[in-house]
């Protein structure tokens, strides 16, 4: 059988390419998921082979739509052999029901089931080898044609740091551009290009593929998934091809993106589907970079996606940091910001990050910190968060501002309740002579008699030891609001902490910490078959003090004092 496929090599001109059917591979990509094996003919495809961005190009036989070109056979092949997804399988995606808008969002005042360790289970990191195996490989097998990840406004350092995370989805990051929106953008035809806007604004990231069908405003494209997320809500944009870059390894289309033309609603194994019209709302993000008297602001929007939003915000933050001409790898970075969530307390972002001897750019630590906070918010088991906006301010401070705890002591090892004692801590800065920092602590009147531990430490130690139980019980909190309150109580890197620990039980109920829990409360907890959000820690915090040091503190020392 001889067929034709319609695609674009340059400009917006849809070209016809001849092809011949080699056969049908039954169950090639799954049960009842057949693939039509074809060979493209002509001088252009002899030069380029199957091109990244061709995914979705419609294939016709005798004027009837057969399916979409979507797969290729290996790399460095001498012939342009590809696979076609049958249109029947693609139409199943277009007919899939969309989820209700309020799916998974509990009503106000509704009881939330105890989810146990669901949160921690869902965040287990995948082995790197697994990510490589699930992306588009280079073996002699039918694999999805690479989806060009069109990026504008990204620095090479950003692409180097984040390309591995994005390539795990089978995407090839490449430079592209943007075009001014036009009224003709929404006038799509089979063979035209569309993009899915992940970020737009001062920087943009948009995977692009080819349209297979347009029927009464409904679109089918790609012939394979982009992310395999199922039900989605992402903006669709018009894409234009500048030229096609031929390569013996992987030819690709050089693409620019235009105006928003609709919404992507389905991302399935055999196609992506959406409809023309207005795009869905996106999250507004503002990143301000300050270095001395120089200041830069970046404004952009990111999609709402539990899987992608954290890494996209981290990528955009890092890109803004390295884009500041006054930024240098020896700078200490101060983060101030907030995440506004509809109906909830604002998530506060405040910390200090000093460069290290590890060969990792300093800005990457801020980016991953922001990414981790977003992951906690979006992976919460209580409700779908509605982020109203993100505001980040990163200030570059000269020099490496860091100090390590060398030693610590108190002026008296025996104290009484209510007594104020001076704690002295010897700190060694990154460069320069060691110095002693003194700050007073007052022994609480309710402190237990006998020997107690006084832990002099950095923020990480306090978060890990004192609040580790609270952090591990997120799945047992009443809701997102309590999780945000826990996150806002996180300790800061630029403070020196003194924590007084006593060997008495602490009862943790939801987000509340109850030191010196009475035996009656513990007995009631033990007798309940399902204690719910209550945990028991056989150690209590009798007091906590801190002092701002204006530099990143690391290390810990434990002292023993006796309360008479």
- Asked if 485 contacts 345 with a C-beta cutoff of 8 angstroms, the reply is yes
What CA dihedral angle connects 502, 503, 507 and 510, to 10 degrees?
A: 60
Q: How far apart are CA 27 and CA 474, in angstroms?
A: 43
Q: 3-state DSSP: the chain helix, strand, coil percent, rounded to 5?
A: 20, 45, 40
- The string of DSSP letters for 523-540 reads HHHHH-S--TTEEEES-E
Q: Which CATH number fits domain 2-94: 2.40.10, 3.90.15, 3.30.1370, 1.10.357?
A: 2.40.10
Q: How far apart are CA 90 and CA 87, in angstroms?
A: 5
* 326: its two tokens: 């006054």
Q: 354, exposed or middle or buried, with CB in 10 Å at 0-12, 13-18, 19+? A: buried
Angle at 80 between CA 76 and CA 81, to 5 degrees: 100
Classify residue 45 as left (phi > 0), alpha (psi -120 to 50) or beta.
alpha
State the residue for tokens 């029947």. Answer: 88
Q: Which helix (H) or strand (E) holds 524?
A: helix 519-527
Q: How far apart are CA 90 and CA 84, in angstroms?
A: 11
Q: What is the pLDDT of residue 114?
A: 35
Strands 450-457 and 534-537, sheet pairing: unpaired
- Asked if 71 contacts 83 with a C-beta cutoff of 8 angstroms, the reply is yes
- Asked if 345 contacts 484 with a C-beta cutoff of 8 angstroms, the reply is yes
Q: What is the pLDDT of residue 389?
A: 92
Q: How far apart are CA 501 and CA 509, in angstroms?
A: 19
Residue limits of CATH 2.40.10 in the chain: 2-94
Q: How far apart are CA 148 and CA 174, in angstroms?
A: 7
**pLDDT in single tens digits along all 564 residues of the chain:** 899 999 999 888 999 999 999 999 888 777 778 899 999 999 888 888 888 889 999 999 999 999 999 988 866 677 888 899 999 999 988 776 665 554 433 333 333 333 333 333 333 344 444 344 334 344 456 788 888 888 888 888 888 888 777 776 656 677 777 777 888 888 889 999 999 999 998 888 898 899 999 999 999 999 989 888 889 999 999 998 888 887 767 778 888 888 899 999 999 988 999 999 999 999 999 988 887 777 888 899 999 888 888 888 888 888 877 766 656 667 888 999 999 999 999 999 999 988 877 767 778 888 888 888 888 888 888 888 899 999 999 888 888 899 999 999 998 889 899 999 999 999 999 988 999 999 899 988 888 888 888 999 999 888 876 555 444 444 467 888 988 988 898 889 999 999 988 887 655 555 455 555 555 555 555 545 444 455 545 567 788 899 999 999 999 999 999 988
- Write down how long the chain is: 564
Classify residue 510 as left (phi > 0), alpha (psi -120 to 50) or beta.
left
Which residues, 6+ apart, have CB-to-CB distance to 519 below 8 Å? none
Q: What is the pLDDT of residue 507?
A: 58
Q: How far apart are CA 321 and CA 395, in angstroms?
A: 9
Nearest to 239 by CA among 262, 259, 264: 259
Q: How far apart are CA 239 and CA 62, in angstroms?
A: 28
Per DSSP, 254 falls in state: E
- Asked if 4 contacts 59 with a C-beta cutoff of 8 angstroms, the reply is yes
* 113: its two tokens: 């089931």
State whether residue 195 is helix, strand or coil: strand
State whether residue 310 is helix, strand or coil: helix
Q: Where are the alpha helices (DSSP H) in 346-479?
A: 362-378, 459-465, 468-472
The CB density around residue 40, as the number of other CB atoms within 10 Å, is 25
Q: Which helix (H) or strand (E) holds 47?
A: helix 43-48
Which residues, 6+ apart, have CB-to-CB distance to 496 below 8 Å? 405, 425, 427, 437, 439, 456, 458, 546, 547, 549, 553
* 43: its two tokens: 């001088």
What CA dihedral angle connects 360, 365, 368 and 374, to 10 degrees?
A: -170
State whether residue 139 is helix, strand or coil: coil
**Interior/surface letters 522-545, b for 16+ CB within 10 angstroms, e for the rest:** eeebeeeeeeebbbebebbbbbeb
Q: How far apart are CA 545 and CA 562, in angstroms?
A: 18
Q: How far apart are CA 23 and CA 18, in angstroms?
A: 16
Q: What is the pLDDT of residue 348?
A: 93
State whether residue 131 is helix, strand or coil: helix
* 334: its two tokens: 């101060």
Nearest to 487 by CA among 316, 339, 318: 339
């Amino acid at each position: 059988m001889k067929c034709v496929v319609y695609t674009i090599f340059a400009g917006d001109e849809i070209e016809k390419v001849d092809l011949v059917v080699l056969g049908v591979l039954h169950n090639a990509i799954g049960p009842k998921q057949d693939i039509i094996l074809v060979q493209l003919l002509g001088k252009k495809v002899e030069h380029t082979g199957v091109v990244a961005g061709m995914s979705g190009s419609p294939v016709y036989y005798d004027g009837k739509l057969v399916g979409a070109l979507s797969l290729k056979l290996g790399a460095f092949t001498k012939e342009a052999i590809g696979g076609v997804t049958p249109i029947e399988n693609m139409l199943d995606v277009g007919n899939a029901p969309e989820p209700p808008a309020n799916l998974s969002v509990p009503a106000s005042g509704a009881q939330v089931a105890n989810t146990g360790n669901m949160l921690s289970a869902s965040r287990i990191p995948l082995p790197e080898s697994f990510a490589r195996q699930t992306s588009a490989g280079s073996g002699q097998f039918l694999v999805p044609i690479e989806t060009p990840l069109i990026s504008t406004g990204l620095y090479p350092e950003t692409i180097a740091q984040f390309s591995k995370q994005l390539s795990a989805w089978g995407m090839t990051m490449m430079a592209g551009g943007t075009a001014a929106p036009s009224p003709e953008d929404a006038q799509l035809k089979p063979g035209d290009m569309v993009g899915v806007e992940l970020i737009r604004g001062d920087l943009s990231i948009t995977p692009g593929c080819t349209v297979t069908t347009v029927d009464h405003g409904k679109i089918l494209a790609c012939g394979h998934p982009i992310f395999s997320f199922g039900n989605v809500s992402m903006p669709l944009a018009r894409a234009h091809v500048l030229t096609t870059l031929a390569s013996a390894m992987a030819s690709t289309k050089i693409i620019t993106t235009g105006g928003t033309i609709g919404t992507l609603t389905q991302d399935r194994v055999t196609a992506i589907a959406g409809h023309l019209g207005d795009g869905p709302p996106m999250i507004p993000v503002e990143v301000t970079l300050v270095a001395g008297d120089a200041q830069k602001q970046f404004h952009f929007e990111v999609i709402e996606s539990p899987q992608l939003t954290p890494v996209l915000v981290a990528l955009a933050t890092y890109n803004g940091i390295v884009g500041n001409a006054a930024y240098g790898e020896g700078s200490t970075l101060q983060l101030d910001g907030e995440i506004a969530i509809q109906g909830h307390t604002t998530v506060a972002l405040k910390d200090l990050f000093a460069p290290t001897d590890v060969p990792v750019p300093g800005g990457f630590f801020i980016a991953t910190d922001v990414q981790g906070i977003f992951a906690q918010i979006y992976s919460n088991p209580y409700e779908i968060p509605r982020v109203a906006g993100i505001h980040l301010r990163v200030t570059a401070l000269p020099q490496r501002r860091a100090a390590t705890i060398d030693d610590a002591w108190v002026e008296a090892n025996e104290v009484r309740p209510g007594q104020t004692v001076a704690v002295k801590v010897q700190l060694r800065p990154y460069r320069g002579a060691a110095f002693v920092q003194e700050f007073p602590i007052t022994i609480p009147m309710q402190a237990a008699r006998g020997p107690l531990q006084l832990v002099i430490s950095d923020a990480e130690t306090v978060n890990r030891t004192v609040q580790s139980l609270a952090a591990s019980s997120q799945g047992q909190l009443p809701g997102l609001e309590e999780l945000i309150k826990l996150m806002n109580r996180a300790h800061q890197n630029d403070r020196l902490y003194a924590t007084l620990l006593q060997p008495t039980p602490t009862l943790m109920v939801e987000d509340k910490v109850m030191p010196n829990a009475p035996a009656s409360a513990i007995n009631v907890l033990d007798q309940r078959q399902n204690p719910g959000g209550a945990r028991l820690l056989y150690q209590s915090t009798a007091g906590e003090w801190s002092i701002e040091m204006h530099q990143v503190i690391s290390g810990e020392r434990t002292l023993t004092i006796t309360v008479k």
